[in-house]
């Protein structure tokens, strides 16, 4: 007499159990895949929302208002060439804002074009009070290496408007792209303005109704980018005196590690 597990009923039972386990396995796998896709979709939706907020913060009314006022000022003084130059750079910057807002990443060359354009517009307004210097390591291939679109401009804008604006003397914004390896690089944005602590005090006591949330949007964007599989970004902001006691101003450091 065969053992119970050798009977036809037992074999059928084992077969049904195996089929059930196989069905359960694929059901769990399908559920996990669906949840992963839903999480990814929510992540992309939130990131897209933050990118839109980033565009809005970059297109803040003060910058647009100041730029248009400056153009009007030059026109009224009959400085045609200067006003045309200002208007040309301003329209180009607006075009770049909208063009890059549709992209998740741009090349470093494209990001540099936007930053240079923005700083040249601000220099036309501030004249000799604002200087800037952009240094890129020769080891970085600016036409191939990418960066999340419009991530640096709010940092540079803060350096101008919160760092240098309240400084009596002329100031300088320095942007450095430092090579680490083929998939990693560091960006330093420094100004020799009033520094983080004084800037925060002035910001908190300001009577202006407009409050820029670009710093908050920036941090949220970095957090979401770090949740993706493509980027690992480290971000820090310090008073330059913390790094060098003889320095003044604000030092922002971003380290970009990109998955190949």
Per DSSP, helices labelled H in the chain are 8-58, 61-76, 80-101, 108-126, 153-158, 196-205, 214-227, 240-243
Question: 48-62, 72-86, 129-143, 217-231 — which one is most confidently predicted on average?
Answer: 129-143
The average confidence (pLDDT) of the chain is: 80
CATH of the domain at 231: 3.30.565.10
pLDDT in tens, 50-97: 555 555 555 566 777 778 888 888 888 888 888 888 888 888 988 888
Residue range 106-115, pLDDT digits in tens: 999 999 999 9
Give the pLDDT confidence score for residue 251 in this predicted structure.
Answer: 92
* Range of lowest pLDDT (7-21, 88-102, 169-183, 188-202): 7-21
Distance, in Å, from the CA atom of 148 to the CA atom of 16, rounded to the nearest integer, reads 52
Overall number of domains in the chain: 1
The domain in which residue 58 lies consists of 4-258
- What is the model's pLDDT at position 260? 64
CA dihedral 63, 67, 73, 79 (to 10 degrees): 150
Amino acid 2: pLDDT: 61
Residue scoring higher pLDDT (3 or 255): 255
∠ CA 137-120-208, nearest 5°, is 115
Band of pLDDT at residue 38, cut at 50, 70 and 90: low
What Å distances lie between residue 85 and 50, 63, 125, 231, CA to CA?
32, 17, 12, 37
CB atoms within 10 A of CB 142: 17
């Amino acid at each position: 007499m065969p053992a119970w597990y050798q009977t036809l009923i037992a074999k059928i039972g084992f077969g049904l159990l195996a089929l059930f386990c196989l069905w359960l396995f694929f059901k769990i796998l399908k559920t996990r895949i669906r949840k992963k896709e839903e999480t990814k979709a929510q992540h992309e939706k939130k990131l897209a929302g933050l990118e839109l907020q980033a565009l809005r913060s970059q297109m803040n009314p003060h910058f647009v208002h100041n730029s248009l006022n400056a153009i009007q000022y030059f026109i009224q003084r009959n400085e045609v060439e200067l006003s045309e130059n200002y208007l040309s750079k301003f329209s180009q910057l607006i075009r770049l804002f909208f063009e890059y807002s549709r992209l998740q990443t741009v090349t470093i060359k494209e990001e540099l074009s936007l930053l240079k354009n923005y700083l040249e517009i601000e220099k036309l307004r501030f004249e000799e009070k604002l200087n800037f210097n952009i240094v890129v390591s020769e080891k970085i291939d600016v036409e191939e290496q990418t960066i999340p679109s419009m991530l640096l401009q709010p940092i540079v804008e803060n350096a101008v408007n919160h760092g240098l604006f309240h400084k009596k003397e002329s100031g300088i914004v320095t942007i450095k792209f430092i090579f680490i390896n083929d998939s990693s690089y560091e960006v330093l944005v420094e100004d020799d303005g009033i520094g983080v602590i004084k800037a925060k005090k002035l910001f908190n006591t300001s009577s202006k109704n407009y409050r820029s949330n670009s710093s908050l949007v920036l941090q949220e964007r970095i957090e979401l980018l770090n949740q993706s599989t493509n980027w690992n970004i480290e971000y820090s902001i310090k008073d330059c005196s913390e790094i060098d006691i003889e320095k003044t101003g604000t030092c922002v450091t971003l380290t970009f590690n990109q998955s190949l």
